[in-house]
Every structure is written in structure tokens, then in C-alpha cells.
């Protein structure tokens, strides 16, 4: 009587199970934050006006990315069930099923939805960066090129994933992750540099200027980027050294972590809109010899541009960026 002996790799099987449990935790956090974000975005301003268009856009963005991440998470959960229940008698056992996950359409759907959600999240970062820099060409062109390259490499990875069983052996996936890190870090550096420059100009123009709002915005941008970058760097290192156990552990939560970091900003900005009015009042009331000639709104970041000038001198352009800057 012959006996079937499946392949055994306790660490790989454990990482899949623990990774799915971690994914459940991150998805739970992501779900709660999504509810909070939707609630905050649906609230009308205190003055009774209708919900602003930028809030509607963010609401649609939040719901679409949530739907995509829910599909991705559900597919991963379903395949985890298949590994130890539906297909437990498959040749090679759970180890073979984990290695050859792309042979099953449910995993391909999970990756596709996860990638599209990531593209939308990176697009939001891209739009914020362009708005802060007022659509300056030397920022728009390279950042847009990186974004297009990221999508192109991701499509190559998806095509290869559809024809190869070993997802962790696809080099395009590693390149895609590296471009994501580069894109996120460049966004953080560019936005922080721009806001620091604006803050410096305002402090030069107004002696008693309160820069706390700039500090808060910069802190939000950096915090959200650091959390995601650290997580994805661990994922990249594991992928590069072919540590399938650690790669599997990170893979099942990477999209939710990115979504969580962006929702933190959306929620804080949506709930802190009242702070913007107070802050703007403080700026207007600050004693200064400069006469504010007008204001220009950078719609995407909610940045209000004030042009200050004296009759004898050329106009000096200074900026006051409100807490809305991370919202759009």
C-alpha cells in the first residue's frame, strides 16, 4: 500500500497562515479607518455649505480603493482556505500550493486588484506633489515618468504572473516594488522641501508668523511615508534574498498598510478643517507692514497663495498652506 508524502516546509506554511492573520488585522484597521474617513468626508461644513468637490473626489477615491482592497483581501483569504481544506490532497501539499499560487485565477485576481489600488494611491500622491509645486515642469515630467514606468513594469509582472506559476521568481515584481519606494520617497522629499521653503519665506515676511500648521502638514506627510516605506523595504529585501516565508508574510498586508497610511491623512485633514479658519485668522491679524494684495488658491492642495507688495518694491510672493493640503 503506497503512502502519499507531501512536501513539507513548516516555516513557509506558518508564514502563509500568520501572514493571513496579520492581513485580517490590517484589513480590520483599514475597514475602521475607511468608515471614519467616509463619515468625516460626508459631514457638511459648519457654515452650512454643500460638501466641497474635493471632498466628493476623496470620497469616491476612498470607496473605490476600499472595494479593490476588499476584493484582493477576500481572494487571498479564499485561497488560504483552499490550501488547507479544499486542496489539501493536491500533489505536493500546501507547500506546492503556496509556491504555485498563480496557477489559480483567484490569486491573479487578488494581485490585479491590489495593483490597481496601489496605482490609485500613488496617483493621489502624484497629484498632491504637482499641486504643491504648482505644476512646475521640472517636477511634473520626472515624477510622471516614474509613475508611468511603475505601471508599465507592473503590467509586465501581471503578464508574467499569468504565464508562470512561481510569482516570487518574477524579477519585474522586484523592480515594481523598488520603483514604488522611489516614487514615495521622492514625493515625500519634494513636498517637504516645498513646504519648508514656503514656511521660511513666510517667517521672513511676517515676524510673528505661526508656522505650526506647516510643521503639522510636514509631519503628516513624513509619518505616512515612513510607515509604508519601512514595510515595503522589508518586503523588497525578503523578495531579493528569496525568503519566501517573509515575502509571503509581507505580501498579504502590503496593500492594506498603504491604504491605512493615506487614510490617516484624509481623516486628520477632514476633521481638522475648523483649525484652518482659526489659523487663517491668525495670519491675517498678524502685525506687518506688508499689504496683502490678493490670494490665489492652489486647488489640489488647498494652498492659499498671498501676494504681498509695497509701492516702492517689487511684489514678494509668499504662501500660506492650510491643513487642507494633504486632502486632495
The CATH number of the domain holding residue 221 is 1.20.1070
Domains contained in the chain, number: 1
- pLDDT average, residue stretch 94-110: 86
Look at residue 279 and tell me if it is in a domain. Answer: no
**pLDDT tier for residue 85 given thresholds of 50, 70 and 90:** confident
Look at residue 312 and tell me if it is in a domain. Answer: no
Look at residue 91 and tell me if it is in a domain. Answer: yes
Look at residue 309 and tell me if it is in a domain. Answer: no
**pLDDT tier for residue 7 given thresholds of 50, 70 and 90:** low
Contact 7, 95 (CB under 8 A): yes
**pLDDT tier for residue 37 given thresholds of 50, 70 and 90:** very high
CB atoms within 10 A of CB 28: 11
**pLDDT tier for residue 249 given thresholds of 50, 70 and 90:** confident
For the ranges 85-99, 114-128, 241-255, 313-327, the lowest mean pLDDT is seen at 313-327
- pLDDT at res. 47: 54
**Which domain range does residue 248 map to?**
10-274
Q: What pairing do the DSSP bridges indicate for beta strands 291-298 and 316-321?
A: unpaired
Look at residue 189 and tell me if it is in a domain. Answer: yes
Whether 137 shows a pLDDT value over 80: the answer reads yes
- One DSSP character per residue, 282-302 reads HHHHS--S-EEEEEEEETTTT
* pTM recorded for the entire structure: 0.77
Give the residue, 322 or 213, on which the prediction is more confident.
213
- What confidence tens digit (pLDDT) does each residue in 138-193 have? 999 999 999 999 999 999 988 888 776 577 778 888 899 999 999 999 999 999 99
- The listed range with the strongest mean pLDDT (32-46, 252-266, 276-290) is 252-266
Torsion 252-257-259-260 (CA) sign = positive
d(CA 141, CA 133) in angstroms, rounded, equals 12
Look at residue 294 and tell me if it is in a domain. Answer: no
- pLDDT at res. 257: 92
- pLDDT average, residue stretch 201-219: 78
* Beta-bridge mates of residue 291: 309
Among 176, 173, 182, which residue's Cα sits nearest to residue 142?
A: 182
Contact 113, 71 (CB under 8 A): yes
Look at residue 112 and tell me if it is in a domain. Answer: yes
For the ranges 19-23, 63-67, 205-209, the lowest mean pLDDT is seen at 205-209
- pLDDT at res. 315: 35
- pLDDT average, residue stretch 24-45: 90
> Three-state SS for 110?
helix
Look at residue 302 and tell me if it is in a domain. Answer: no
- pLDDT at res. 45: 60
Whether 39 shows a pLDDT value over 60: the answer reads yes
Among 170, 81, 50, 154, which residue's Cα sits nearest to residue 111?
A: 154
Amino acid at each position: 500500500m503506497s503512502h502519499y508524502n507531501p512536501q513539507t516546509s513548516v516555516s513557509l506554511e506558518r508564514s502563509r497562515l500568520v501572514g493571513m492573520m496579520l492581513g485580517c488585522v490590517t484589513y480590520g484597521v483599514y475597514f475602521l479607518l475607511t468608515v471614519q474617513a467616509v463619515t468625516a468626508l460626508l459631514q457638511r461644513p459648519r457654515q452650512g455649505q454643500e460638501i466641497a468637490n474635493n471632498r466628493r473626489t476623496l470620497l469616491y477615491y476612498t470607496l473605490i480603493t476600499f472595494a479593490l482592497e476588499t476584493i484582493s483581501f477576500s481572494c487571498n483569504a479564499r485561497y488560504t482556505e483552499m490550501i488547507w481544506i479544499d486542496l489539501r490532497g493536491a500533489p505536493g501539499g500546501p507547500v506546492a500550493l503556496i509556491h504555485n499560487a498563480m496557477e489559480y485565477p483567484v490569486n491573479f485576481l487578488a494581485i490585479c486588484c491590489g495593483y490597481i489600488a496601489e496605482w490609485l494611491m500613488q496617483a493621489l500622491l502624484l497629484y498632491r506633489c504637482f499641486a504643491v509645486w504648482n505644476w512646475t515642469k521640472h517636477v511634473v515630467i520626472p515624477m510622471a515618468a516614474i509613475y508611468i514606468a511603475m505601471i508599465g513594469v507592473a503590467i509586465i509582472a501581471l503578464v508574467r504572473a499569468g504565464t508562470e506559476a512561481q510569482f516570487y521568481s518574477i524579477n519585474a515584481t522586484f523592480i515594481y516594488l523598488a520603483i514604488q519606494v522611489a516614487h514615495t520617497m521622492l514625493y515625500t522629499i519634494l513636498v517637504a522641501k516645498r513646504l519648508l521653503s514656503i514656511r521660511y519665506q513666510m517667517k521672513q515676511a511676517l515676524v510673528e508668523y505661526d508656522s505650526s500648521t506647516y510643521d503639522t502638514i510636514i509631519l503628516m506627510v513624513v509619518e505616512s511615508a515612513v510607515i509604508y516605506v519601512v514595510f515595503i523595504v522589508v518586503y523588497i529585501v525578503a523578495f531579493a534574498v528569496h525568503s519566501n516565508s517573509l515575502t509571503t508574510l509581507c505580501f498579504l498586508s502590503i496593500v492594506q498598510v498603504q491604504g491605512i497610511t493615506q487614510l490617516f491623512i484624509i481623516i486628520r485633514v477632514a476633521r481638522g478643517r475648523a483649525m484652518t479658519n482659526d489659523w487663517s485668522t491668525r495670519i491675517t491679524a498678524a502685525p506687518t507692514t506688508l499689504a496683502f494684495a490678493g490670494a490665489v488658491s492652489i486647488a489640489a492642495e488647498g494652498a492659499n497663495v498671498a501676494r504681498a507688495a509695497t509701492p516702492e518694491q517689487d511684489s514678494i510672493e509668499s504662501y500660506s498652506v492650510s491643513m487642507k493640503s494633504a486632502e486632495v
